[in-house]
Structures are given as structure tokens and as C-alpha cells.
Amino acid sequence: MSKKQPDPSAAPATATVHALPTVPGQADRLLRELEWKVIRRLDGLLQGDYRTLMRGSGLDLADLREYQPHDDVRHIDWNVTARLNLPHVRVFTEDREMSAWFLLDLSPSINFGPQGNAKRDILTGFVAVLSRLLTRHGNRVGAMLYGAGAEAPGAQRAVDHVLPPRSSRAHVLHLVHRLLAPAAAAHPQGGAGTELHRLLQAGLATVRRRSTVFVVSDFISAPGWEKPLAQLAQRHDVVAVRLLDPLELELPDVGLVTLRDAESGEQLQVDTHDAAFRHRFARLAAQREAALREGLTRAGADTLELCTDDDLVDALLRFMDLRQRRVRTARAPSQAA
């Protein structure tokens, strides 16, 4: 399917989240606004389920108790069992200190969406809130930014910035400031296009210690990202955060519309009154959706979809529910044994 998308200027302004500030020096203002409007609403919901929201990189011995039929026999403490003549098991808790990495796709296609609520705005808000939630608990957050700079035709894109993991609010501000920098524009002569596998391969080479890795992208990319994503998921706890806009799935009947390629800037005018054209567009979009979701499933990564008409609080609650279900699924085999 072509990467041509409707011109964002023609999209209806139905944003449900405030426009993000883009003036230099506004990172602190944005973060304070998100802390007040979003994080305060989430405090009572997320902190209680913190251990299901994030998984740490180690285990701490918390207690000893009598063996129950559903317990894992590998956790039996044989010394205590022999001394008390009664089977006892070790009870562990996850280490809450962890590192989280954000692998961020900032290629031109994420600039698509309603003004003030484009996919890039959704990315910025999500990363800012989640980074602040993590650092408030003493966890470290790092980031790799891909596609933030304009590329000459034929150039092979590399990661633009790497922010090593830190746990301070100042570090989160630095990350937000990077995300509020002017977006990369499509190259007028056509570029190499988004090659998401380069970002994922850079993540494999950089992130050594087991971490939670958020791959935030619209996954509009050249083929080849599935294998490195699967390799990343084998080493780390990976969450694929997919950005999308409803107009990428179905075109409204609004007459003549200019479609613009997000990467090259090439434009094409089409008549959306043509029902056959709208049907073909929706069919191709559905095929791409099916292939994308199948690829994410094969990679073994949790998937969270963030739409441009989403409420950020609702999206984070969906993420919490996703993590809870994953933990319950992981516990089921051991309990059955």
C-alpha cells in the first residue's frame, strides 16, 4: 500500500487533547501541565498496581511459607524443609528499580493528524507522562530518537540522539525539549524513507541490561523491522506503542482531496466522491492493518495503540490493563503446575 496520506490541513479538527507548546523553553510548562492534568488523575490508579505496570530486572527474597499445591517446586527451600520437616517455599518480589528505554520514531509520517493533536503530539504526551511516572519511583529512563533530522535523498538514516538512562526530572525535561524541537519535513526530492529496523538494531546494540523497551512508532516503514523487534523482545520486556489516525484507515466523502506522501512530499489529488476509490483505499488499509498486527504478534511484543482522537488518561489505563493481563497470563502456567 502506498504511504500517501491525506493532507493534515484537510483533516477535521476534532482533537480532544490541548495543543502541545512548540516554542523553545516550553518543555517545563508542558511537563507541569501534564503532571497536573494527567499524572494527578492517574496517581491512585497506577501506583497501587505498580508491579504489574512495570517488571523489574531482578528478584528479592521476601518471605518463606508452607508449600501449597499450586506452588512451583523449584522455589522449595530444602534447608528449611529438612529442618521443620514440612515443605516450605521461598516467596520473591520483583526489584522495583529498573531501566526503561524509549525507541522513538520521529520520521515525517508521524506529523500527520489534526493540528495540535497529530501523532507526534500524542507521542510527546505519552512519553512525557510515562517518563515522569517512572522517574518519580527512582527508575531510570533513556531514549533513542530516530528520523528527527532531514535526510538527503539516498542517505541511510541513523539514530539522531541517544539519551542515556537517568532518573531526574531535569532529565525528563531534556527529553521533552528534544521532542518539542521542530519536526523533520519531507524532503522535496524524496528521501530514503523510514527504515525502522535501523532504530531497532541500534536498540539491540545499545541496551544491554534487561529493561522495559517502548518502541513508539506508526510502523509506516520499509520492510524488515519484524526480525529485530522479535530479537529485542527476546532480550527485553518490549511494548510496541503504535500511533495512528482514523483517516489512515478510511477516507470520508469530502470531494477533492490532496494526498501527500509523508516521506517524499509528493502530492496527488483524488476525488473522494468516488465510492469505488474509497472502497479500494479502505481495503488496502485493512490489508496493511492485518499484516502489521500479525507482525507485531509474531514478534512477541505487547501492543498498545494510540489514536489521535484518544484521551491520554484512557490510553494509559488501557496500558495498565494490558500489563495486568500479561502478568496473569504469565502466572497461569506455574499455578497450573
Cβ-proximal residues to 329 (8 Å cutoff; 6+ apart), any chain: none
CA separation, residue 216 to residues 28, 259, 319, 320 (Å): 22, 24, 13, 17
- Beta strands per DSSP E along the chain: 4-6, 59-66, 88-94, 99-105, 140-146, 159-166, 212-217, 237-244, 256-261, 267-271, 302-307
pLDDT digits (tens, 9 = 90+) for 115-171: 888 999 999 999 999 999 889 878 899 999 998 765 544 445 578 899 999 999 999
Give residue 185's Cα distance to chain centre: 22
Q: pTM surpassing 0.85?
A: no
Compute the average pLDDT of residues 83-96.
73
Give residue 70's Cα distance to chain centre: 35
Contact 198, 146 (CB under 8 A): yes
Sign of CA dihedral 95, 202, 220, 246: positive
- Residue 12 is predicted with a pLDDT of 35
Q: Is the pLDDT of residue 236 over 80?
A: yes
Percent of the chain residues topping a pLDDT of 90: 37
SS3 assignment, position 281: helix
Q: What's the CA gap between 268 and 266, in Å, rounded?
A: 7
Compute the average pLDDT of residues 99-111.
93
Cβ-proximal residues to 138 (8 Å cutoff; 6+ apart), any chain: 96, 97, 167
Among 229, 137, 135, 129, smallest CA distance to 179 is for 129
Contact 272, 251 (CB under 8 A): yes
Residue predicted with more confidence, 233 or 73: 233
Q: Is the pLDDT of residue 290 over 90?
A: yes
Compute the average pLDDT of residues 67-94.
78
Contact 316, 302 (CB under 8 A): no
Q: Is the pLDDT of residue 10 over 50?
A: no
Structural element, H or E, at residue 319: helix 312-336
pLDDT digits (tens, 9 = 90+) for 182-224: 776 655 555 567 899 999 999 999 998 889 999 999 999 999 9
Q: What's the CA gap between 329 and 322, in Å, rounded?
A: 11
> CB atoms < 10 A from the CB of 140, how many?
18
- Residue 97 is predicted with a pLDDT of 60
C-alpha cell at 123: 507521542
